[in-house]
Structure 1
Amino acid sequence: MEATKLPLASIFTGHRVFDIPFYQRSYVWKKEQWERFLEDMEFVSIESKDYFLGSAILKQQNLNMGVTADHRTVIDGQQRFTTIVIFCKALCLKTGELDEFDRYFMVRNKKEGTKKCALVHSMNDRKDFEQVVSLTEDKPIDNAGNSSILQAYNYFQEKIDINKVDIDELLSHLIFIDIELHPNDDEQAIFDTINSLGVRLTTAELLKNYFFTESTLEEYQELWVPIFEKDKGTSEYWNSQITAGRLKRNNIDAFFSAFLNIKIQDRKIGVDNEHKNMYRRVDSIFASYKDLIATYNIDKKELYREIIEYAKLYAKYINSDVVESDIPSKSCVERINFMIFTLDCSTMLPYILYVLKNVKNEKERNDIFGYLESYVVRRAICKSENNSFSDLFSEILIGNEIKTFEDLKSLIENRDEMALAFPNDEKMQECFHDIEQPNKRALAILYLMESRVRNNQPHATKILSFSEYSLEHIMPKKYEKSWPLNDGYDEETRRMMINTLGNMAMLPQKLNSSVSNADWNTKKNGKGTRKGISYFASDLVTMKGVVTCPEWNEDNIWNRAEWLANIAIKIWPSYQETNDDDFDIEAETKLDQVNQEDESAKARNMNHDNTKYSFDGTEFLSKSEFVVTLVRKYMENHPQLTYKELKGKYPDRLCAKGYKFRGFLCTEKEYNEWNNKYKEKRYQPNKENHRLTSSDGVVFYVNTQWTKEGVDKLVKIAKADGFSIYTRNKS
């Protein structure tokens, strides 16, 4: 690569030919750009000063011996070069200096006695451009129609004032940075790193010119045009912008990236790991295609025919507009689409295309999609890291040719990496309570739940498209004025719980801020003409029971989170069920009853329940002493258990709802580092036999704050382990 500062007269010399790639995009400048260009040309002519027009990237061509002209391919500079030639032609017609135009912008072939323009245009604009170049009279072109080339000429023909513009000044003072690439240089990598005035070429445009030549026009029209350039709607689809992870790309670039990730896993090609890592770099897809073809001797014609097959599937099934319509309730590609574009899972695209291409049985295909939905949504709810997703959905699944539900299930469940683990039911319930969710993700999860649990059951209203809903925090983030803190909770706990799914609602209209931040009664029922939650949420299944609550506090948030978690576990099982029966929401929902329990629960006074527990014939113990004794007895029966194994036996989700803990079990180190004024009450470390040690030497304490509901769960666990438990209520 060589870069040189050159005036226009040293670029267009009458001996160099500049080829715009045959299948390149059309000339796109319009009146706004032409006006600015004319003003600039007048400025240069009057001031007689150098004027920088940016960089022009030109690539040397390897041509047969005997070709006299020096040929360059225009990588970047098409729009500016085209405008300059049109402008200078219009100017020289007005001044009668066509010889001056021919001297710089026409190239002669003395042997053949012919001449042609130094700028050879693409297929789309060649006819119109040659019409302009061949003009001999200073007059407008009739019937310019929609041609930007002809319209540009007519604009300059009308607007140029020969007293303000001088061709010689332009030739000497219009300056480019001429970047000359050698035949083996990577034009895309260089193009992307230069801040030019041009518009970035898509991977598709570069590949189109790489696969096809002027001599293969029929193949181009037969294969490429119907898929990528059939009509305006087709072009708009492929050029529409989508969010792909942290990047925004056109559909067409996203497709070529996905197909490349499929192709490099082809066992028949045998791409090594070093090349796979290199080819998967998003910023050099075109270079990756070229290197893949050259290094592994891939037949270009066979490759682009396969590209066409996959492109048909992409265009048929992949659509970011899924957020503008309601989605089916059963496992299908539409729901996968929804996850791709609302949960930012574009890394799924290669495997989804692979399944669409290779799994012909619709039920098998939908079983795969159902399993993937459970897997991806569970990980989203648990905020699992997705750094390894690109490996999973390309090298692992495609590389292992996973084409059946059973193979997919087996592969996921037998992976050793924690990074790709399938969250279990206990983890799901824990995360519904403890994981703070960003708004977009929370809204998408609730929408997926709502669409699933309806299952064609009669409802007063039809579910709207995702884009018509907004997320509302039931207890608002700005709660200080109208939402007093309940006994037994602290500010830290409340701030965390506000951002969990138990406190989030999808509503078809955003609440007015005066209602949204008001007290619960106002927020529920509205104020004046401003409607409240009960109006907007009346027919939403995911809001069942919320609008009947006389108050909304941490207890309600915890109860609703538990209720939603139980539904989610049914909707997204840890394994895909063989039948996809409708989900019976009525059989599983108890939120109404939970929220209407004894008024004493509101006060969070743990001493109101006086049940005591006898453990294998011991004296009757309080709840806190019973739980500590249970853990200690279990350790005596299983002395080999490590602290991690004990944590698995007694998960944190069993803790009393709503309280802020370090966990069911808390290490001495965690306890000492925890800055919380209630910690001694929570763990009571100074009581006899409350300091325990696991087999691997970890010193820990047991949570001592329990509701009867929580202890009842532990009683069931204890009885399953063979212990005899008796209860007694103190009169």
Structure 2
Amino acid sequence: MAIIKHAARQTLGQLIGANNPPVEVPDDSQRQYAWGKKEVDTYWEDIQKFMRARQTGSEASAEYFIGPIVTITDDKVTSRSLLDGQQRLTTSTILIAAIRDTLGQMASTEARLMANNIQRDYIARKDGRHSSPQLFLTLSLFDRDFFKDFIQDWNETTGKAASTENPSRPSHKLIQDSYKSFQTHIKNALSAISLDGERLDWLDDLKDCLVKGLVFVEIQTPTSSDANEVFETINSRGKDLSTVDLVRNFLMEKSRDDAEKGRVNNAWQALLDRFERKEDIEKFLRHFWVSRHGDVRSHSLYTTIRSSLTSRFEDDFPRYEVRHFAAELQNASGRYIDLLMCATDCDPFNDLLEEVRALNADACYPLLLAISAKNKYEEICEIAKAVLTFYVRWTVVGRRESTLLEEKLFGLAKSVSDGLTIGSASQLIRDWTPDDETFYSDFETVPVPRSTQARYLLTKIEQHLRASEGVDDVVVADSGAVHVEHIYPQSPEQDYRIVEHSAWIHRLGNQTLLLGRKNRAASNRPFPDKAEAYESSSLLITKRTGVSRLWEDTTASWNTQGIEDRQRDLAKMALEVWPINASTDRGISWPVNLG
């Protein structure tokens, strides 16, 4: 049970005011700035509504409760470490700085004096001209220097920030964007006010709304453990707190000394530098855990990690410490980025990773992460091929339950981490893969409405045709010059519309690839108007798979039998493109009629 020393109402001015203990975000317990345009604009709109209500003078509109914050305080409350509430306090300080800078750029002496007072009372103050500023809000190491440089270290003479550090992290860019958004909002509001005196009054009212009207409940706790428990309880039902933040706070709590805390911070700094978004870090964290321990759902990831690691950290033998987990996490993140970016030191493996990315086959990554931890990339090409064949035959074409595929691959990832060999893992994948008879039956009737999947399937068949004929390969899958073409149009002219249109439009036999920018008007025309484009195409899947069978010249109408026939022939090729075992017999031999 968490110990709460004190819980009290505090205005924003009391929290970050000059006559109160400074607030510092400790390096061992918080995240970087995360508010984007949506959150900042909502915050501004809320402040404007509150400002208008406050001007009515009614007692009910005198204050605006913005939420709780959690701090760790010493006995004499001479300092406060902020565990929860960073986003709100940081954003409020950014808005106060935008008000300060607007005043600082005005011509009047009164405006400049108001700006200086705001800086000294609510952002930072100096004891002398050459002394370092005393900051009323200090962020954690991830954002501290940039926030100080861009927002807090202000030159009273010029009315501008003393210097400008370039943003080096996504959180820095968000701080910069939030400031610019507030500047724009203030500028737009002032444009409707003509007199300088009234502009000063409006800015003064806005400042008062913030520092006197915004109210928090500060929950003071004696230790980081107590604060973490309160923090998790407050955020357990909200979306403001991510799994990534919770895991980092937990690791800091379990760290035995400053060296271990430093190791965690190093790992988290690497994650922030390697991944562009918090959501990407969270996906990696889940895939890392799955690669070691098997399936776990995103909503229960933190509780699972906390429960498991707590037991391991408390065991005396074998000794497993926070620093070990942090190092494993950091090392795995480098390999994970290589997998995502298709940037390993093995080109054939990178080509297979491109296929995983083209299919958005995220379920493959935990297994690939587990295998790559113990094997060289060139050694795992065969199992990567087997995984792709399994994924295509099971999910893309077979349209079977994807959660069952995940269950199999995630369980296999854990088995590999526990010592299962690549050969045994490959055999298991082949055992799970739908056989040739089943795959052929699935393929000859499957609709593929998702253009990314259709592009992938058609591209692989194109590459197979080119390899069979010894024709130079071309880049298709990621080329913006190639589009998926529906031979029978998605929006045909009414006179040429097929009965049961929706049943045929996305059949793979009705789709092909074309070079050149898609001409939607031409694409919707009858076949004779498009025949020349197909016949002159340099892509073999368009030129040599009998697309003309889809049109009946005698009746001048589209022919659904042609769609079936062409898809059946594509299915025969697919057996060779995605074989269960590439090193043995290709399976059933099917004659292909290209019409």
% same residue: 17
| Residue of 339, 352, 357 corresponding to 1:335 | 352
| Residue of 20, 23, 28 corresponding to 1:18 | 23
User: Relative to total residues, which structure has the larger helix share, 1 or 2?
Assistant: 2
Whose Rg is larger? Answer: 1
In structure 2, the partner of 1:426 is 437
In structure 2, the partner of 1:272 is none
In structure 1, the partner of 2:361 is 345
| Residue of 255, 258, 264 corresponding to 2:293 | 264
Question: Match for 1:515: what amino acid?
Answer: A
In structure 2, the partner of 1:309 is 331
CA distance in structure 2 between the partners assigned to 1:522 and 1:263 by the alignment? 57
TM-score normalised per structure 2? 0.69
Structure-2 change in CA distance of 1:284 and 1:239 (3 Å): farther
User: What displacement does 1:125 show?
Assistant: 4.9
Question: Match for 2:283: what amino acid?
Answer: A
Q: Is the 8 A contact 1:402 1:408 kept in 2?
A: no
Structure-2 change in CA distance of 1:20 and 1:545 (3 Å): same
Question: Match for 2:213: what amino acid?
Answer: H
Q: Note the aligned Cα RMSD (angstroms).
A: 5.1
User: What displacement does 1:84 show?
Assistant: 5.8
| Residue of 392, 402, 427 corresponding to 1:410 | 427
| Residue of 449, 455, 461 corresponding to 1:449 | 461
In structure 2, the partner of 1:463 is 475
CA distance in structure 1 between the partners assigned to 2:152 and 2:412 by the alignment? 56
Structure-2 change in CA distance of 1:209 and 1:146 (3 Å): farther
| Residue of 342, 350, 355 corresponding to 2:371 | 355
CA distance in structure 1 between the partners assigned to 2:26 and 2:66 by the alignment? 18
Show CA shifts across 1:361-420 (max 9, x none): 624x01101111111111121211112233222224423647544312433455xxxxxx
Structure-2 change in CA distance of 1:59 and 1:500 (3 Å): same
CA distance in structure 2 between the partners assigned to 1:589 and 1:51 by the alignment? 82
User: What displacement does 1:27 show?
Assistant: 8.8
CA distance in structure 2 between the partners assigned to 1:133 and 1:33 by the alignment? 22
Does residue 79 of the first structure (1) align with residue 123 of the second (2)? no
In structure 2, the partner of 1:377 is 392
Structure-2 change in CA distance of 1:82 and 1:215 (3 Å): farther
How many residues were matched structurally?
A: 520
In structure 1, the partner of 2:530 is 523
| Residue of 541, 555, 565 corresponding to 2:561 | 555
Question: Match for 2:437: what amino acid?
Answer: E
Structure-2 change in CA distance of 1:403 and 1:542 (3 Å): farther
Q: Is the 8 A contact 2:483 2:515 kept in 1?
A: yes
In structure 2, the partner of 1:472 is 485
User: What displacement does 1:118 show?
Assistant: 4.3
Q: Is the 8 A contact 1:8 1:170 kept in 2?
A: yes
Structure-2 change in CA distance of 1:361 and 1:312 (3 Å): closer
Question: Match for 1:308: what amino acid?
Answer: Q
CA distance in structure 1 between the partners assigned to 2:93 and 2:164 by the alignment? 18
CA distance in structure 1 between the partners assigned to 2:530 and 2:322 by the alignment? 63
In structure 1, the partner of 2:308 is 292
In structure 2, the partner of 1:389 is 405
Show CA shifts across 1:199-257 (max 9, x none): x56654555565569955864786554x4455xxx5xxx125xxxxxxxx733222111
Structure-2 change in CA distance of 1:480 and 1:425 (3 Å): farther
Structure-2 change in CA distance of 1:179 and 1:388 (3 Å): farther
Question: Match for 1:540: what amino acid?
Answer: L
In structure 2, the partner of 1:719 is none
Aligned pairs for 1:666-705 (under 5 A) are none
Q: Is the 8 A contact 1:106 1:118 kept in 2?
A: yes
Does residue 119 of the first structure (1) align with residue 131 of the second (2)? no
CA distance in structure 1 between the partners assigned to 2:135 and 2:249 by the alignment? 21
Structure-2 change in CA distance of 1:573 and 1:431 (3 Å): same
| Residue of 277, 280, 284 corresponding to 1:251 | 280
In structure 1, the partner of 2:535 is 534
In structure 1, the partner of 2:214 is 174
Structure-2 change in CA distance of 1:506 and 1:496 (3 Å): same
Show CA shifts across 1:303-348 (max 9, x none): 01011111111112213899xxxx98x6x35324433x44342122
Question: Match for 2:539: what amino acid?
Answer: D
CA distance in structure 1 between the partners assigned to 2:546 and 2:425 by the alignment? 38
Q: Is the 8 A contact 2:98 2:183 kept in 1?
A: no
Show CA shifts across 1:281-317 (max 9, x none): 3135445434432233251100010111111111122
Q: Is the 8 A contact 2:444 2:567 kept in 1?
A: yes
CA distance in structure 2 between the partners assigned to 1:321 and 1:52 by the alignment? 54
CA distance in structure 2 between the partners assigned to 1:459 and 1:54 by the alignment? 70
Question: Match for 2:399: what amino acid?
Answer: K
Q: Is the 8 A contact 2:463 2:473 kept in 1?
A: no
CA distance in structure 2 between the partners assigned to 1:539 and 1:519 by the alignment? 21
Question: Match for 1:239: what amino acid?
Answer: E
Aligned pairs for 1:43-62 (under 5 A) are 50=61, 55-61=66-72
CA distance in structure 2 between the partners assigned to 1:368 and 1:35 by the alignment? 50
Question: Match for 1:360: what amino acid?
Answer: K
Q: Is the 8 A contact 2:228 2:249 kept in 1?
A: no
SS of equivalent to 1:259: helix
Structure 1: 5+ residue stretches without partners = 108-114, 241-248, 266-275, 415-420, 486-490, 526-531, 596-731
Q: Is the 8 A contact 1:434 1:500 kept in 2?
A: yes
Show CA shifts across 1:632-657 (max 9, x none): xxxxxxxxxxxxxxxxxxxxxxxxxx
Structure 2: 5+ residue stretches without partners = 104-110, 126-132, 167-171, 191-195, 314-319, 553-557
Q: Is the 8 A contact 2:390 2:430 kept in 1?
A: no
In structure 1, the partner of 2:575 is 569
SS of equivalent to 2:227: coil
Q: Is the 8 A contact 1:446 1:505 kept in 2?
A: yes
Structure-2 change in CA distance of 1:48 and 1:413 (3 Å): same
Structure-2 change in CA distance of 1:342 and 1:503 (3 Å): same
CA distance in structure 1 between the partners assigned to 2:230 and 2:299 by the alignment? 12
SS of equivalent to 2:84: strand
Q: Is the 8 A contact 1:15 1:70 kept in 2?
A: no
Question: Match for 1:8: what amino acid?
Answer: L
Show CA shifts across 1:255-286 (max 9, x none): 11111212335xxxxxxxxxx7xxx2313544
TM-score normalised per structure 1? 0.58
SS of equivalent to 1:434: coil
Question: Match for 2:486: what amino acid?
Answer: H
Q: Is the 8 A contact 1:437 1:501 kept in 2?
A: yes
Structure-2 change in CA distance of 1:371 and 1:478 (3 Å): same
Structure-2 change in CA distance of 1:67 and 1:370 (3 Å): same
Structure-2 change in CA distance of 1:294 and 1:57 (3 Å): farther
Structure-2 change in CA distance of 1:56 and 1:20 (3 Å): farther
User: What displacement does 1:569 show?
Assistant: 0.9
SS of equivalent to 1:591: coil
In structure 1, the partner of 2:593 is 591
Q: Is the 8 A contact 1:188 1:284 kept in 2?
A: no
